[in-house]
Amino acid sequence: MTTNHSLIKLKAITKVFYTEDVETHALSGVHLEINQGEYVSIAGPSGCGKSTLLSILGLLDSPTEGTYTLNGQAVANLGHAQRARIRNREVGFIFQSFNLIGDLTVFENVELPLTYRGMGAAERKKRVTESLERVAMAHRFKHYPAQLSGGQQQRVAVARALGGKPSILLADEPTGNLDSKNGEAVMDLLRELHREGATICMVTHDPRFARHAQRQIHLFDGRIVEEISEPAEVSRD
């Protein structure tokens, strides 16, 4: 699925958090390139910088030093409004805690980001329906999150991420709150989306799920210490 088109380029990315007299170096000189259509996993022990890296990739945070280019655009040159627009249109987020809104139905949860775009009602309905069908949750469109299992809620969260047709899906421990059976089901869904051409970058602490990816990147103390490339389809089929 990989093409020669570079979607993400990180050069010498450093992130330092300052609290009183303490400096915490979450990332130290990270270089990373992700091509369109790739499936990359980021693994490492707790506190190694995985979630910090994902937050920078998703424009939720900014590096202290280094350069980040997303789809040919230098992120440092973007204002707050431009960053918000790119987050809404280019990046799909899948979180460990699902982050669904409890008093909105499944349909309304998936529709909400599209509403922020100012998209027309007919197009929104089409996008939401397509996304829910892709994750086999269209039959639950009137249900509320509390009426769904954890695995079903995560499928809805994936549908919400897909609705905007993003350039890249960022998944932060997407199986972290699921039992093994539902975790495997969500991983199979991500693998299917990758087969269809999606670009995926996933943080996971579970080596079983990391092996679903084409490339496995291992972080330790804020640095990339190992990178493994393997044909995920061969190892899983």
Residue 207: CATH number of its domain? 3.40.50.300
Report yes or no on 99 lying in a domain: yes
Report yes or no on 8 lying in a domain: no
Report yes or no on 70 lying in a domain: no
**Full domain range(s) for residue 158:** 36-60+78-236
**Could you give the percent of the chain with pLDDT greater than 70?**
95
Report yes or no on 91 lying in a domain: yes
**Predicted pLDDT of residue 4:** 58
Among residues 180, 232, 233, the alpha carbon closest in space to that of 211 is found at 232
Using CA atoms, how far apart are residues 237 and 221, in angstroms rounded to an integer? 34
Q: How many domains does the chain have?
A: 1
Name the pairing type of β-strands 200-203 and 6-19: unpaired
pLDDT surpasses 70 at 236: no
**Predicted pLDDT of residue 157:** 94
Report yes or no on 67 lying in a domain: no
Q: Note the pLDDT tens digit of each residue in 166-190.
A: 989 999 999 988 998 999 999 999 9
Using CA atoms, how far apart are residues 205 and 92, in angstroms rounded to an integer? 20
For the segment 125-144, the average pLDDT, to the nearest whole number, is 95
pLDDT surpasses 80 at 230: no
Alpha-helical regions (H) of the chain: 50-57, 80-90, 106-116, 121-134, 150-163, 180-195, 207-210, 232-236
Among residues 226, 222, 225, the alpha carbon closest in space to that of 24 is found at 222
**Predicted pLDDT of residue 118:** 86
Six token digits for residue 72: 């040919």
Report yes or no on 96 lying in a domain: yes
Q: Note the pLDDT tens digit of each residue in 182-224.
A: 999 999 999 999 988 899 999 998 888 888 899 999 999 999 9
C-beta of residue 44 within 8 angstroms of C-beta of residue 228? no
Report yes or no on 31 lying in a domain: no
Using CA atoms, how far apart are residues 160 and 85, in angstroms rounded to an integer? 16
pLDDT surpasses 50 at 57: yes
Note the pTM of the prediction, 2 decimals.
Answer: 0.87
**Could you give the percent of the chain with pLDDT greater than 90?**
65
For the segment 105-110, the average pLDDT, to the nearest whole number, is 97
